[in-house]
Homo-oligomer: A and B are copies of this chain.
Amino acid sequence: MGEFELIRRYFDRGPARRAALGIGDDCAILAPPRGMDSLAVSSDMLLVDRHFFADDPPESIGHKCLAVNLSDLAACGAAPLAFTLALALPTPDEAWLDAFSRGLFQIADRFDCELVGGDTTRGPLAISITVFGSVPGDAALRRDRAQPGDDVWVSGTFGGPAWAVQEIRAGRRSGLPVALLDRLTRPQPRVELGLALRHLASAAIDVSDGLLGDLGHIAERSRVGMTLRADSVPVDAPVAALDDPIRLACAWSGGDVYELAFCAAVENRAAIDALSARFGIALTRIGSVEAGEGIRVVDARGLTLGGLPRSHDHFGS
């Protein structure tokens, strides 16, 4: 099977709907978004042993590589439009490609996000996706608009994926609950929530590296500080049973979460609680934004906790 046959068989699904010109030319041509919409663009590269394991089901690798990119659109309040896929593969393994493309298109279809182009080449498995979304005018959710007095919120639960990675690395994959493995390998991007938060949140980010580090980006770019309550972050079931230091580290520093962390004015509390009911996603207040700088995590007695790493840093120690 050659490169073009591979593309035809697994990735070309006929005439483009959204692009004026889709797969099979030098570029995809995207018509200008309707009205005065702006285009949101994000790129993420996923590598084996960093973002997924070689023995993960290829279907969930296909799911995850688009999910993490859709999560960036969610954090900007952008509606998914299209994506490109650059894929390096050691061999054109048909069973792998079949399952990978099935997982990829399942989530692509769910969020109406069309594959419009890309590139395949032979090499160590690497998957690079660039995703496009639309945002009306200047309604994008950004990192730099948090205001002192805002509440700090998170969607969903934390800590499970980091704990799962640790268990897998220690050779205990088979003992992991299916739901926890699913949480790691099939993250659910909060696209609808991001769209609904456009006019409610002052700043937002998706938690990919770790809650503390990612909230740190909002604090730095908004030039504010935050005080957060240590035990306010909802954690996944197996993590809740762990001892204090490891539980807190999973919750606050664990990556691969793909939930949204966002800031919002106090008067929007009821509207945000209503979104929680509407989407069936836990939305939890975990602290507040303050004038100043830096992020403090305090325990039940109001004492500052030290020693929590900010997050996973790909080039850090």
Interface residue A221 (Cβ < 8 Å from any Cβ of B): yes
Bound state CA distance, A143 and B138, in angstroms?
Answer: 36
Taking a contact as CB atoms closer than 8 A, the residue among B85, B119, B315 that contacts A1 in the complex is B315
Bound state CA distance, A111 and B151, in angstroms?
Answer: 44
Is there contact, CB below 8 Å, between A88 and B45? yes
Bound state CA distance, A89 and B315, in angstroms?
Answer: 9
A21-B140, A88-B126, A142-B21 known; A40 vs B50 contact (CB < 8 Å): no
Is there contact, CB below 8 Å, between A32 and B36? yes
Interface residue A20 (Cβ < 8 Å from any Cβ of B): yes
Complex interface residues of chain A between 124 and 141 (CB less than 8 A to chain B) = 124, 126, 128, 130, 132-133, 135, 138, 140
Interface residue A86 (Cβ < 8 Å from any Cβ of B): yes
Complex interface residues of chain A between 2 and 28 (CB less than 8 A to chain B) = 2-4, 6, 20-21, 24-28
Bound state CA distance, A50 and B41, in angstroms?
Answer: 27
Bound state CA distance, A313 and B120, in angstroms?
Answer: 10
One of A71-79, A100-108, A165-173 at the interface: A71-79
Interface residue A150 (Cβ < 8 Å from any Cβ of B): no
Bound state CA distance, A286 and B313, in angstroms?
Answer: 53
Complex interface residues of chain A between 79 and 94 (CB less than 8 A to chain B) = 82, 84-89, 92
Interface residue A192 (Cβ < 8 Å from any Cβ of B): no
Bound state CA distance, A89 and B144, in angstroms?
Answer: 29
Task: Tell me which of A29, A82, A138 has the highest count of chain B C-beta atoms within 10 A of its own C-beta.
Answer: A29
- B contact residues around A45 at 8 Å (CB): 86-88, 119, 121, 123, 126, 128
State the number of copies, please. Answer: 2
Taking a contact as CB atoms closer than 8 A, the residue among B6, B32, B76 that contacts A315 in the complex is B6
Is there contact, CB below 8 Å, between A30 and B39? yes
Is there contact, CB below 8 Å, between A29 and B140? yes
In the complex, the chain B residue whose C-beta lies closest to that of A132 is B41
Interface residue A122 (Cβ < 8 Å from any Cβ of B): yes
Is there contact, CB below 8 Å, between B72 and A26? yes
Is there contact, CB below 8 Å, between A2 and B316? yes
Complex interface residues of chain A between 31 and 59 (CB less than 8 A to chain B) = 31-33, 36-45, 47, 50-51
Interface residue A160 (Cβ < 8 Å from any Cβ of B): no
Shortest A3–chain B CB gap in Å is 5
Taking a contact as CB atoms closer than 8 A, the residue among B27, B40, B315 that contacts A122 in the complex is B315
- B contact residues around A25 at 8 Å (CB): 76, 142-144, 221
B-binding residues in A (CB < 8 A) = 1-4, 6, 20-21, 24-33, 36-45, 47, 50-51, 72-73, 75-76, 78, 82, 84-89, 92, 116-124, 126, 128, 130, 132-133, 135, 138, 140, 142-144, 204-206, 217, 221, 313-316
